[in-house]
Chains A and B, each alone.
Chain A
């Protein structure tokens, strides 16, 4: 019974709180409308990593042409649309335009988004890991509930500040260091998401007698439950160095924006409601900028002992030293690089080496150095000094040992390290080799008697020569082709061709008399021309003497010609062809 009353009491408190919150928002919107006519809201203000939130920029009684998207590390902004509509304020509808902006987080944390419009207040956004339960979700009996957060005692060294919403802790490994010595330290800032709305900068030292390495890098984030409340703990690993000796009380402080409960009574109610209902109370509060300090740590800074070596440059730590040269061998005039490797842990910003100032028979050049850290804070690593050298003399050369002095806080004394001397073999320069060329056997210079040429390229490969020779080759090839074609056609003259056409016509017409008369006349003319005698001198004896058996055939042809002329002999078509072969061969031979 008692628990039932308590339950209804809680419900009433929640309902009243919701009404108060709604009234507050409306009142705030009304006030904003009266003054600036524009305001921005974010919904939701706590999301899981991988989800997005939406910012709505509302302008009453008008239009806002554009908003400048802010730059917040870890958040991406994108305008997704513009709409117009009505906004209900205190029961009245007011014409309004809206600009919708999508916010996509890149990692978990509490972010402060600066005002998107002049005079607007910054917006808060908390991004949590995806595997966390949604704090705004009402519990569903059908869904397995996460285990309740077990109250845990406050860890040693943590002092909650800002109404229990934040703490800052400085973790130092030892309480006595030397001047100039670098000491790796951790700075932890714990914040309650939702109550601490933003971290307004990196933590700073309360004393100017120490220096801290750069804290601009993102801190390491983890979560821890402290006194039943979830805290997001940001850890910076950095290096502390003391500037002067003495006894110091050292602390760090972190600038935060915190929604501060107005009274201890409010805080008590919030604590009684528990997460997430306590958030409702805090959501109505305006964040305040506060600096949360850490508890002070006592630190003794010891002076370096007197009597340090003259090469001591202020390096404090534990170092190892080696050296090398590359390339290992070279010729006179060729550059080589001498390297000094200093590795270990300590204040590398004070590690310095002059290398080689002067070396006989060598040209020396200024030293350059590069540091390669082995951890994020740069407390340990390797610093390499490089010095270019150029040998001026051939032969075996020795580069002396390099020295490095530092103060070792572990042994509490100065230490000096020498590298091993380096022997290098320097060859004679190529130029020197060339100059030793024996030129006694050279034949003497020539007087300038031969003609000069514009071009060294041989005539073969010049365009003009190639053109001339190509044209000549084409002409000769064309002529040869023409001659060959004429030979292929029989090589007969036009007169012979005309006679052969007449014979063909007579043979086709079967006119034996005409055929033999033309043939006899043409052959007599041809033989007379060939043998350079008169046509009437072409006798049977001459034919047989000059043509042999062919002469007998010709004589028979002549006899048939006479017979046809006087007796009307008619020859068969096949005989015409055989006589044509004989006549053609004789006439063609004459032409050739």
Chain B
């Protein structure tokens, strides 16, 4: 049985957007919103333009009463391209800029082409950098996989509880100490949570 809690989430040896999406559906049907959201988030990394993944992610969050933060225009544009494609487009952009800067001779039409290449290259590099920045924040995100997870004021089991996290909420991990990680919620609250209660969106390879 694949359905387990905490960090004991079964990790496929190879990742595919479809596999992770189907895994998220399985978790959702089994009543595990945290693990379902985690799988959808991972699937969305590979296929950010997939409407089914985005729809099921928002649906499960709504069902689990977890607030959904609307993404901005910048994030939508930057996240619309698949990361692998965006990375290679960034390389092409760098090549265009470089070629335009190096090729200094030629007639008027060559100069126009050169200027156009530099502008297009800069746009591609900007797209890649934006996409990378978006993913950089996602690399440090985690999903709460245990309901009513206590966030403590100190990284000890007997530490006072500052607030309680619902299952399926996505948080940012900012530090780690022993068996605890320091998390920050979307509304800016910070607290120490047991490692076993959250699972990182980007698994350690």
Contacts and interface: CB of A to CB of B under 8 A. Distances in A.
Contacts of A479: 98, 101-102
Interface string A468-488: 110011011101100100010
Nearest to B16: A452
B46 A453 contact: yes
A245 B90 CA distance: 99
Contacts of A468: 91
Given A442-B25, A445-B21, A458-B132, A437 B60 contact: yes
A442 B83 contact: no
Contacts of A459: 83-84, 87-88
Contact of A480 (B83, B101, B128, B146): B101
A469 B94 contact: yes
A145 interface: no
Given A433-B147, A469-B94, A483 B101 contact: yes
Contact of B14 (A431, A454, A458, A476): A454
Contacts of A454: 14-15
B139 A461 contact: yes
Given A445-B21, A452-B16, A460 B135 contact: yes
Interface stretch (B28-36, B67-75, B169-177): B28-36
- What is the interface residue range for chain A against chain B? 35 or more
A524 B16 CA distance: 70
Contacts, number: 131
B91 A469 contact: yes
Given A452-B19, A458-B87, A458-B132, A437 B33 contact: yes
B17 interface: yes
A443 interface: yes
Contact of B33 (A434, A452, A456, A477): A434
B83 A475 contact: no
A472 B98 CA distance: 9
B98 A443 contact: no
B202 A456 contact: yes
Contact of B202 (A457, A477, A487): A457
A450 B148 CA distance: 36
A217 interface: no
Interface in A428-446: 430-431, 433-439, 441-446
Nearest to A487: B104
B167 interface: yes
A472 B128 CA distance: 15
B56 interface: yes
Given A453-B14, A459-B83, A476-B101, 4 more contacts: A437-B28, A456-B42, A459-B87, A472-B94
Nearest 8 A-B pairs (CB), nearest first?
A: A476-B98, A435-B31, A430-B147, A459-B87, A434-B31, A452-B14, A458-B83, A446-B18
Interface of B: 14-19, 21-22, 25, 28-33, 42, 45-47, 52, 55-56, 59-60, 63-64, 83-84, 87-88, 90-91, 94-95, 97-99, 101-102, 104, 128, 131-132, 135-136, 139, 146-148, 167, 202-203, 205
12 contacts: A430-B167, A437-B60, A438-B63, A452-B19, A453-B16, A453-B46, A458-B83, A461-B135, A465-B87, A476-B101, A479-B101, A480-B101
